[in-house]
Chain A
Amino acid sequence: MTDPIAQRVAAATPPRLAHRIRGLSDRTIAWLFVAPTIFLLLAVNIFPLIWTIRLSMTNFRTNRPNNEVEFIWFENYQKILTDEDTWTSLQATAHFLIWTILLQVLIGFTLAYLINKKFRGNDLWTTLIVLPMMLSPAVVGNFWTFLYQPQIGLFNYFVQFLTGTDPASFSMIGEVALAPWAIVIVDTWMWTPFVMLICLAGLRSIPSSIYEAAECDRASKWRQFWTITIPMALPFLMLAVLFRGIENFKMFDLVVQLTGGGPGSTTLLTSIDLKREAFEKWRTGYASAYAVILFVTVFGLASIYVKALNKVKDR
């Protein structure tokens, strides 16, 4: 930079031109590139979130726009938390969450373990197993109501084939005792492959040298499974549980098409309950408070879980 000629050229170049030669500065580009994304997320995520929080403290009803809107602070929250129905739907959600996660982890991990034996053609079969989870839950869930029909439904016929029960004698989605299981079955059918894929990635990440070392030390296969396979695949397994947990806590499309929350309120998951409050009873303020409570719950639980996950990972 001490070259006098270069300095003179630089001084003689008009600033505009210099700018054009170098192009836009990195800072400008950074902001230019990020701005549209931030704008869209603010407009469609943050702004509505703030609006929801505001609405949640009012008695606003979308179907009565002329009513005077009163600011009632936390009355909605109080109502929701003391309402029996809220706890009923939380129980339905808990039943759904616990069983789907348990079944999906068990079946998904077993499948991943088997696929990891690398039999011939495992690639093709893995892809075929994955198909259900890529499809539209609403469309597929709707069709499952056909499979669940008493008498003519394929599912009932299959149960008859296995156990000899009369296929006309039970209705998976029409009976209080069976409906919670009907939704667990379909969700498990649809999302087990997801857990399987993540577990498979976990199993494949374990270097074979560890097993070779264990083999040299004469560790039994059983011992290898519990001291190598499970601990090393655990972070992946926990990740799968996190994703499934969040997704199933907000489950809507599949179940609303299958049972619509019925019979009674046996499968009335929180999302479906929320939809009824907001878009059928039009209690907008109340539903907003409900939404905030659900969001805080998921967010809180997920944060705690992620901390635990990171601890397992670092170990």
Chain B
Amino acid sequence: MSFSITEPSNRQKWIAGILVIGYAILTLIPLIWIIATGFKTPSDAIAYPPKLLFTPSLEGYVNLFTSRTRLAPEDLAALGDPTTWYDKIVRSYDMVITGPSRYGERFMNSVVIGFGSTFLSVFLGTIAAYAFSRFKVPLKDDLLFFILSTRMMPPIAVAIPIFLMYRELGLSDTRLGMILLYTAVNLSLSVWLLKGFIDEIPVEYEEAALIDGYTRFQAFYKVVLPQAATGIASTAIFCLIFAWNEYAFAALLTSGTAQTAPPFIPTIIGAGGKDWPAVAAGATLFLVPIMVFTILLRKHLLRGITFGAVRK
């Protein structure tokens, strides 16, 4: 190891490390609390003082996925013994399962809308970014500024005319409507990021391919696409995370069939008020995939969240 006068001393490193780790632990407590609450019973969840140690229970998850109804003791007795473990949990509250809850549907809507809009915005974004990067497109600079400025609109402001427009077109509360909307919102980020990635690929590669007799189109998908693969993947993650987390449009433009999980999870209620373990269970299933993505893809984070303004 070479000696450098600017290298921080060991003592500085220790202090910095302790402070940062302290902050990290503090900031993770709410997230750990979400996951922990999902495994508590309702009475443990609202205990005072807050319970750090508790017997894990799957009640929250059972309540999340089922709808239940209370029965009189004699009706319950008439049903005979519970047959499954989740029946047993529900019966201990004098209730029976009447069917699945809506959570599964809402989660699937999030998956379909999230992946659908991600695919579209990355596909359209890649070809548009290629054109912006390599060809003289009139008004190029204005277009890019325009694309970014659409992000300055409050979502509610955009939602007013979209609401009216979708009602006319029959797109309100449909998955297709939400996919198109999220695609349009993401497209600005997607084009902007991908243009940055494609700009970094030397033009010489394509020129060589063109001289070798490739058409422009072949040069695009045989030379440029493989080189841009990492950039395309990290752009896709950002589009997916946006669509996955989006709340305002989903809450205003969907109500029944196409509702995604974010507007649904806060509305989960139990028999006597808010069923926090069920809410936490729903939140856990919804948030953990993104946490895993974040940890796996940490190297590509910065560029996406700063709209490509910071490139390292």
Interface residues of A (CB under 8 A from B): 22-24, 26-27, 29-34, 36-38, 40-41, 43-45, 47-49, 51-52, 55, 62, 107, 111, 114-115, 117-123, 125-140, 142-144, 146-147, 149, 151-154, 157, 167, 189, 192-194, 197-198, 201-202, 204-205, 208, 211-212, 215, 236, 239, 243, 246, 249-250, 252-253, 257, 270-271, 274-275, 278-279, 284, 287-288, 291-292, 294-295, 298-299, 302
Contacts and interface: CB of A to CB of B under 8 A. Distances in A.
B118 to A, nearest CB: 15
A118 B16 CA distance: 9
B93 interface: no
A41 B185 CA distance: 8
Nearest to A113: B16
Given A127-B294, A215-B5, A291-B156, A34 B20 contact: no
Contacts of A30: 131, 134-137
Contacts of A38: 143
Contact of B155 (A24, A31, A36, A252): A252
Given A205-B312, A291-B160, A239 B128 contact: no
Contacts of B298: 123, 126-127, 130
Contact of A236 (B160, B251, B286, B310): B310
Interface stretch (B62-70, B79-87, B259-267): B259-267
B27 interface: yes
- Top 5 closest pairs, chain A to chain B, by CB: A23-B215, A291-B157, A48-B161, A44-B184, A138-B247
Interface in B210-269: 215-218, 220, 241, 244-245, 247-248, 251-252, 261-263, 265-266
B287 A139 contact: yes
A107 B19 CA distance: 11
B135 A26 contact: yes
26 contacts: A24-B215, A29-B135, A34-B137, A41-B150, A49-B161, A52-B157, A114-B19, A117-B12, A130-B294, A131-B291, A138-B245, A138-B247, A138-B265, A139-B245, A139-B287, A157-B50, A197-B310, A198-B302, A198-B306, A250-B154, A252-B248, A271-B155, A284-B164, A291-B156, A291-B157, A295-B152
Nearest to A44: B184
A134 B218 CA distance: 37
Given A30-B135, A30-B137, A117 B294 contact: no
Contacts of A32: 127
User: Which label, helix, strand, loop or mixed, suits the secondary structure of the A interface?
Assistant: helix
B54 interface: no
A119 B127 CA distance: 42
Contacts of B137: 30, 34
A87 B52 CA distance: 44
B191 A37 contact: yes
Contacts of A149: 46
Nearest to B248: A252
Given A41-B187, A119-B14, A132-B27, A48 B5 contact: no
A253 B32 CA distance: 22
B36 to A, nearest CB: 10
A139 B216 contact: no
A37 B187 contact: yes
A34 B21 contact: no
A279 B26 CA distance: 38
